[in-house]
Structure 1
């Protein structure tokens, strides 16, 4: 089962450049969270800080009662065993077969025999849909397959926390949909805590239980998916709905003249909140919430048409929080 990650007051600089300041959030155990933000806002730096590869100037990262920021040596190494990481490009060794790439963490960090390693590798490769491809080299397969091989490697030590950096990078929309479905199915099966960094708005709107948005060197908002998708906060509304009206410009922030030119313009309506992506076989995930639950509990009227599925003939909340 996944574990909770409590981040408090996290601040990171590179020299005089502030990356982000006073980031505070809690990643709930066993849930899928997504971290968004314009390019250059330090999302990948945040992932590396969570796993202890980069040290912040201030703040804490508490996992199972231990502050990872304060740990050193063997203590840090032990906490890192809780993590699996899928890097943006898969980070596979080009001269190794997929089998050896996936087996690498087991050979480096355990004393398991080759037969047991082989069984685990084949199990994880089947889990990500790569059964039969064990002998191929990374250069012989597609980008989507390399992502899945990297995911299999991230899973071989049975992590309780899975960090995923830009899984849609370099993938077409169809492959992105497949890998999103894989994340949802995996979460149901292994119940780990997922944090996905992405730019893909469809992923953010349909996959996670929670969404966070980094903007202008701080965490603009973090919370349940429905909270952010119904938010009127300008930067959250603009980014999650891919709108041009709002504080975000081509160089992250719009200048005063651009904002003044937008003054008085009517904002486009919020689009309907979609149903969350279900598992392939319809098995509920432990963290799954009923559609519209957050809106009803907080007295928020979602945009018209929210939580409706015409393809499955399922209608949840369709015109308001009490529908």
Structure 2
């Protein structure tokens, strides 16, 4: 089962350049969280800081009642065994075939014999759909297969926390959909705590249990998926719905003249909130909540057409009459 990660007042600088300041959030145990943000806001830096590859300038990262920022190198090494990391490009060794790439953490960090290593590697490669590709080199396979091989390697030590950096980078929409479904299925099977850094809005709208948004050197918002997808907070609304009206510009922030020109312009309506992706076999994930539950509990009326299913009847029905059982979601239409 995954573990909770509690981040308090985390601050990171490179020299005089502030990357982000006073970031505070809790990644719930066993849940899928997504971290968004415009380019250059330090999302990948945040992942590297969580796993202890970068040291923050201030703040704490609590895992199992231990603050990673204050651990000695030996103790930090032990805590890192809780993590599996999928880097943006897969970070595979080009001279090793996929089998040896996936086996590498087992050979490096355990005393398992080759028979046991083979069993584990075969199991993880089957899990990510790479059975039969063990002998291929990274240069002989597609980008999507390299991502899945990197994911298999991240899974071989049975991590309780999975950090995933830009899984959609370099992938077409179809392959992105496949890997998103794989994350949902994996979370149901291993119950690990997931943190995914991505720019893909469809991923953010349909995969996670929680969403965070880094913007202008701080955490703009973090919370349940439905909270952010129904938010009227300008930067959250603009980013999650890919709108041009709002504080984000081509160079991160719009200047005063650009913002003045937008005064009085009517914002497009919020698109419907799509149903969250379900597991391939229809089983319910432990972290999964019924569609619309957060909105009902907090008295928020979601956009019309939210939580629609192909089996839910007439288009235009809101979450108040949409079902909360498992079903295939329709695309959200604004």
Shorter-normalised TM-score: what interval?
Answer: over 0.9
Q: Is the 8 A contact 1:7 1:26 kept in 2?
A: yes
Q: CA RMSD in A?
A: 1.3
TM-aligned CA deviation for residue 288 of structure 1: 0.2
Q: Is the 8 A contact 1:2 1:29 kept in 2?
A: yes
1:164-243 to 2 correspondences below 5 Å = 164-243=164-243
In structure 2, relative to structure 1, the CA distance for the partners of 1:271 and 1:127 (3 Å cut) is same
Which residue does 1:161 correspond to in 2?
A: 161
The aligned counterpart of 1:280 is: 280
Assess, with a 3 A threshold, how the Cα gap between structure 1 residues 211 and 317 changes in structure 2: closer, same or farther. Answer: farther
Contact 1:302 1:321 in 2 (8 A): no
CA displacement at 1:319 relative to structure 2: 2.5
Structure 1 residue 122, shift from structure 2 partner = 0.3
How far 1:309 moved relative to its partner? 1.4
Matched, 1:85 2:85: yes
Per-residue CA distance 1:162-211 (angstroms, 9 max, x = gap): 00000000000000000000000000000000000000000000000000
Return the offset for 1:109.
0.2
Q: SS of the counterpart of 2:39? A: coil
Aligned partners of 1:213 and 1:75: how far apart in 2?
31
Which position in structure 2 is the counterpart of 1:308? Answer: 308
Q: CA deviation at 1:316?
A: 12
What do the CA deviations read for 1:95-133 (whole angstroms, capped 9, x no partner)?
000000000000000000001001100000000000010
Q: Name 2:8's counterpart in structure 1.
A: 8
- The unaligned stretches of length 5 or more in structure 1 are none
Asked if the contact 1:105/1:153 (under 8 Å) is kept, the reply is yes
Contact 2:291 2:319 in 1 (8 A): no
Q: Following superposition of structure 1 onto structure 2, how do residues 1-323 of structure 1 map, counting pairs within 5 Å?
A: 1-310=1-310, 312-313=311-312, 318-319=317-318
Structure 1 pair 315/229, CA: closer, same or farther in 2 (3 Å)?
A: farther
Residues 30-82 of structure 1: CA distance to partner in whole angstroms, max 9, x if unpaired? 00000000000000000000000000010000000000000122100110000
Q: Helix, strand or coil: the match of 1:81?
A: helix
Partner of 1:182, secondary structure, is: helix
**SS of the residue aligned with 1:23?**
strand
Separation in 1, partners of 2:70, 2:25: 18
Residues of 2 paired with 1:229 and 1:249: CA distance? Answer: 20
Please give the per-residue CA displacement for 1:255-290, whole angstroms capped at 9, x wherever unaligned: 000000000000000000000000000000000000
CA contact (8 A) 2:307 2:318 kept: no
* Maintained 8 Å contact 1:2/1:191: yes
CA distance in 1, matches of 2:116, 2:41: 42
| SS of equivalent to 2:213 | strand
CA 1:24–1:90 in structure 2 vs 1: closer, same or farther (change >3 Å)?
same
TM-score (norm 2): 0.95
Partners of 1:313 and 1:101 lie apart in 2 by 45
Could you list the runs of 5+ residues in structure 2 that have no partner in the other structure? 323-334
What is the TM-score normalised by the length of structure 1? 0.98
- Counterpart-to-counterpart distance in 2, 1:215 and 1:76: 29
**The residue matched to 2:125 in structure 1 has which SS?**
helix
Distance 2:267 2:8 in 1: 34
TM-fit CA distance, 1:18? 0.1
| TM-aligned CA deviation for residue 317 of structure 1 | 10
Partner of 1:136, secondary structure, is: coil
Aligned partners of 2:225 and 2:240: how far apart in 1?
11
Measure the CA separation in 1 of the matches of 2:315 and 2:119. 43
Aligned residues: 322
- Partner SS state of residue 163, structure 2: strand
